[in-house]
Amino acid sequence: MRILIVEDEAKTAAFLTKGLKENGFSVDVAENGVDGLNSLEQVDYDLAILDVMLPLLDGWSILSVLRSKDIQTRVLLLTARDSVEDRVKGLELGADDYLVKPFSFSELLARIHTLLRRGTATEIQKIKCADLEIDAIKHRVTRNDVRIDLTPKEFQLLLLMARRPGEVLSRTVIAEQVWDMNFDSDTNVVDVAIRRLRNKVDDPFEDKLIHTIRGVGYAFEQRK
């Protein structure tokens, strides 16, 4: 995963770079808005962390140019003040998330993990499979137009599988993506969660969408 940090404060940039590298990301830094925009136009980054106040070109402008050119790199904005207008402006311009300075590194890392898991803003937000519909923005799941209530983890699990239809997902991959855990031994938690999910999503219906792939993991697809 490759991240671009656009930040003119050298100390902050160095601190973020160090922390992100320690967490396995490859990191580039641009010290002003023009360099940042150039890099984002040339390189396909998984995420851009944009400071709003930057020399030459501010974070808002970078974001606005990117989106106008249909470059959908995920963007996390760093703002110096927490105001509703700033938030709305950022989201309207197409930011995926924002953080208010000062923030803790662990909070930044958590946001990054969520963003990278979530996919780009333009990724299909409504997923349909048979009579099942998922609205990824509203966190709403229905089958046959009847709403199904899921816990946040169940929702994440369903969304992960539904975004990769037909693909066999191992328990380890599911555990990492949904629980942020790296565990080789106890993937039982995945089986339990799948059972609960099936209970809500599949059991009451004729058309089963969650399939067990013996010895490997699970797959989501309509089979007829």
* Site residues, Ca ion (CB under 5 A): 8, 51, 53
Least distance (Å) from Ca ion to the CB of residue 4? 15
Least distance (Å) from Ca ion to the CB of residue 220? 43
Helices (H), 94-149: 105-118
Between 8 and 202, whose beta carbon lies closer to Ca ion? 8
Answer for the pair 215, 163: CB distance below 8 angstroms, yes or no. no
Phi, psi angle pair for 146, to nearest 5° = -100, 130
Between 8 and 131, whose beta carbon lies closer to Ca ion? 8
Between 50 and 136, whose beta carbon lies closer to Ca ion? 50
Between 10 and 88, whose beta carbon lies closer to Ca ion? 10
Least distance (Å) from Ca ion to the CB of residue 24? 26
Asked whether the CA dihedral 132, 135, 141, 145 is positive or negative, the reply is negative
Residue 210: both structure tokens together? 């969650």
Residue 41: both structure tokens together? 């136009």
Answer for the pair 163, 209: CB distance below 8 angstroms, yes or no. no
Least distance (Å) from Ca ion to the CB of residue 54? 6
CB atoms closer than 10 angstroms to residue 133:
18
If phi > 0 it is left, if psi is from -120 to 50 it is alpha, else beta; for residue 7 that is beta
Question: Nearest to Ca ion by Cβ — which residue?
Answer: 53
Between 4 and 210, whose beta carbon lies closer to Ca ion? 4
Least distance (Å) from Ca ion to the CB of residue 70? 27
